[in-house]
């Protein structure tokens, strides 16, 4: 059996396991937490990525980095946008029926989702003008920086940002645990004697962030874009 198929099946089993856990929690009356949803979404993301794209070594499918792959991604992003707008609208209606009052946050997000597409179109159109305005110049600068950075670097940056977001935003906001709890879990309750390890760990986390930003900036300056 191909390794791609094995990975796909394992991911699918993982998805069903988490989905089962979420359904069980809902039936048992326990509220589901954001980490359940994110974990399920991540597994589904990996599953669809695995079944969609091929490998350049095994030559078993379309590559995301080649031009047909990029066109597929552009098309799917365009379709996804309309689906997300529709889902927000459906969410707005469901929330109004369930709670009796319209949800202000979803209303604002729905309004923004309608405006974002024409606004971005305006900005992108500006980048093609003979004399672009300030927005067009900023967009041009951003596109230039982005084209210099390789996919590998972008993925690394995304990983670091994801890790820090999970640690400092998602965890304290949506869960009972926080960064402080993580330190307690790793190094024990703070006692009378001075324990340097939590500080060292924090220094490593901050160092990681600074190194990542430095790496990003360096790559952006030097340019390491490699198509193949």
Partner 1 sequence: MENQMKELREEKKISQGKLADLCRVSRQTINAIENNKYDPSLQLAFDIAKNLGVTVDTLFLQGGKEYEE
Residue in 28, 67, 115, 196 binding partner 1, rule: CB under 8 A: 67
- Residue 57 within binding range of partner 1, rule CB under 8 A: no
Residues 6+ away with beta carbon under 8 Å from 40: 15, 18, 19, 22
Between CA 66 and CA 50 the distance in angstroms is 16
DSSP3 helix / strand / coil % (the chain, rounded to 5): 75, 0, 25
Is 59 or 131 the residue whose CB approaches partner 1 more closely?
Answer: 59
Angle at 198 between CA 194 and CA 199, to 5 degrees: 80
59 binds partner 1 (CB under 8 A): yes
For residue 66, state whether it binds partner 1 (rule: CB under 8 A). yes
- Cβ proximity to partner 1: between 41 and 56 the closer is 56
The verdict on 4 binding partner 1 (CB under 8 A) reads no
Give min distance, CB of 81 to partner 1, in A. Answer: 22
d(CA 32, CA 21): 9
Q: Give the dihedral sign, CA 80/85/91/93.
A: negative
Q: Does 172 bind partner 1 (CB under 8 A)?
A: no
Q: Are 84 and 113 in contact (CB under 8 A)?
A: yes
| Under rule CB under 8 A, residue 62 binds partner 1 | yes
Residue 158 makes contact with partner 1 by CB under 8 A: no
- Name the E strands within the chain: none
Burial of 157 (C-beta count, 10 Å sphere; 0-12/13-18/19+):
middle
Residue of 57, 131, 226, 228 that binds partner 1 (CB under 8 A):
228
Q: Least distance to partner 1 from the beta carbon of 6, Å?
A: 21
CB of 61 to partner 1, least distance (A): 7
Residue 71 binds to partner 1 (criterion: CB under 8 A):
yes
Question: For binding to partner 1 (CB under 8 A), which residues are involved?
Answer: 54, 59, 61-63, 66-69, 71, 228
């Amino acid at each position: 059996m191909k390794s791609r198929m094995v990975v796909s099946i394992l991911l699918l089993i993982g998805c069903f396991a988490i989905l089962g856990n979420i359904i069980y929690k809902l039936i048992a009356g326990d509220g589901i937490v954001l980490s359940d949803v994110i974990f399920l979404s991540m597994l589904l993301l990996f599953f669809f990525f695995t079944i969609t794209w091929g490998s350049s070594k095994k030559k078993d499918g379309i590559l995301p980095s080649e031009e047909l792959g990029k066109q597929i991604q552009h098309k799917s992003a365009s379709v996804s946008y309309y689906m997300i707008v529709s889902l927000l609208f459906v969410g707005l209606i469901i929330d109004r029926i369930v709670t009796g009052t319209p949800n202000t946050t979803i209303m604002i997000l729905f309004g923004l989702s309608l405006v974002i597409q024409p606004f971005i179109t305006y900005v992108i159109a500006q980048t093609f003008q003979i004399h672009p305005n300030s927005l067009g110049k900023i967009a041009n600068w951003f596109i230039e920086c982005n084209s210099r950075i390789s996919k590998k670097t972008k993925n690394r940056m995304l990983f670091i940002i994801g890790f820090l977001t999970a640690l400092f935003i998602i965890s304290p906001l949506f869960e009972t645990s926080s960064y402080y709890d993580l330190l307690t879990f790793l190094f024990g309750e703070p006692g009378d004697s001075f324990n340097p390890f939590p500080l060292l760990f924090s220094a490593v986390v901050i160092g990681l962030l600074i190194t990542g930003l430095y790496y990003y900036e360096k790559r952006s300056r030097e340019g390491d874009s490699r198509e193949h």
